[in-house]
Every structure is written in C-alpha cells, then in structure tokens.
Amino acid sequence: MTNEALIRTLKELKKRALLIIPTDPSEIELKKTDTKFGGAPYAETGDKCPVCAACGEKLTFVFQFRDNYDMDLKPSGPLHVFYYCFGCMPIETADEGQWLVKTYKNPESAKFVETSPNETMEIVPSGVTLKRDFVVPAFDFMCELNSEVYDLCAELSPDDPHTAYEEAAKAAGAIAPVCSSMGGYQAVVQALAAQDCPHCSKDMDFFVQIQSEEDINLMWGDLGVLYLFKCHADGSFGMEMQCY
C-alpha cells in the first residue's frame, strides 16, 4: 500500500494547471480568437506574417491562447499568438527573432484579417479541449525538488519507483504533467527550464508548455517540449525548447 506520508507530501506539492488537449479538427468550428493549434492565426489590419531574423523565411504559426481562463474555462485578457521557425529550430530566448509571441490586448473576431504564415511544419488546424486538474512534478526530477519523495518511492518499489510515484499522485488527487498545459509544473525532458527577462533581468514565471502533438503533426525535435515564460513586470516572453 502506498505510504501515507508520501501522499500527504504530494497533496502539499500539487498545483492547479489547465490541460490543453487538441481535438479532432472536424469536431469544432473555430472562432478567430479561440485557443487553437495551426490554421489561420489571429491577426488585425496591418499585420503581416513575421519572418525569421536568421533565415528570412516566414515563421510558422503554432498556437494561440488567452491570458486567463476562469473556473468555467471562459477565456479573458490578451490573446497571445506564438510563431516559430522550424527551419532554424531555436532552443532558447537568446534566439529571439527566430520565434515570436505576438500579443493582442483586445482581440475580436470582427477585427480578424487573414495572413499567410509559413507551413513548413504543416500543423493540422485543431481546436482544443481545456481541462483543469492538479499536477505534481515529474518523478525523474523529484530528486532535485524533494529528495525525500524520490527516496521514499525507491524504498516502496525498488524495481519500479515510477509506478509507486504515479499511484501516490493519483491517491493525492493529482497527475504528472503529460500534455500541453498552462501553469502547474513543467513536463521536464532534460532539466528544469528557467528564463530571465531580457529587459529587466528578473526571473520569468513558467507560463505555458507545448508538448509534441503527433496527431496534429507538431513535433519539437524527437518528441520534445517547448516552454514559454512570462515576465509579469513588463509582459515579455521567454522560450526554451528541449528534446530527447
């Protein structure tokens, strides 16, 4: 039976996250300001598709999302539109110009104008299902965050500590991050990602992670993850991509 002390600790560690799950593209008619992957990005009069500062090719529209979602999953606040150069494959904020988060403070479907982004990746246009859940840190990095939890799982199940951790997380009412999500904990591939604001040098907050989504042909290297960070002092974004 799972150790009660482990469950109590995970209950204390768990955080709320908004899970972002791509839907079957045929199942939903998208509004121009909806949270979505691929297709036509939100844009307004005078906008042009951004180009990569390194190779000069148009950036690919990947994903757009709102600043906030209430408990009923109703979006509010600015709309953020994320573009990326899959030709150059930038991996961090230092490669700014090869990726872009474009923010619209007051997005409205009536303001939408069509642009022609690059389709190098050919991401399948898809809406999303949003779901709130509690998440805990990925087990492989608990040794850095809480060594007692890591050691206890190894004691409970020396041959399969991951399963012991997953069972304890479930008993605590949480899951490890396994899909694209906003808030909570990172689904770490290599190491915990972190960014400093390039303008004010303050620590940026982990904001959104975009997982590789094979069903819609979105791939970061070999099944990697892309993390977006936000500076709440000046609204700047940072980016890091990790893959296997």
Residue-level pLDDT at 143? 74
Tens digits of per-residue pLDDT, 99-113?
999 999 999 989 998
Mean pLDDT of 7-34: 84
HEC readout, 33-97: CCCEECCCCCCCCCCCCCECCCCCCECEEEEEEEEEECCCCCEEEEEEEEEECCCCCCCEHHHCC
Cβ neighbours, 10 Å, residue 178: 11
- CATH hierarchy code of domain 4-242: 2.30.320.10
The pLDDT value recorded for residue 119 is 64
Per-residue DSSP letter, 120: S
57 closest CA partner among 104, 90, 81, 79: 90
Task: Give the Cα separation of 95 and 83 in Å (integer).
Answer: 13
Greatest CA span in the chain, whole angstroms? 62
168 phi and psi angles, rounded to 5 deg = -70, -40
Predicted confidence at residue 28, as pLDDT, reads: 56
Give residue 2's identity as a one-letter amino acid code: T
pLDDT at 1: 44
* pTM, entire model: 0.90
Cα–Cα dist 106/76, whole Å? 9
Q: What is the pLDDT of residues 25-65, one digit of tens each?
A: 665 566 789 899 998 899 999 998 899 999 999 999 999 99
Q: What is the mean pLDDT of the chain?
A: 88
pLDDT at 29: 63
pLDDT in tens, 168-227: 999 999 988 778 999 999 888 887 888 888 778 788 899 999 999 988 999 998 889 999
The CA distance from 89 to 122, in Å, is: 15
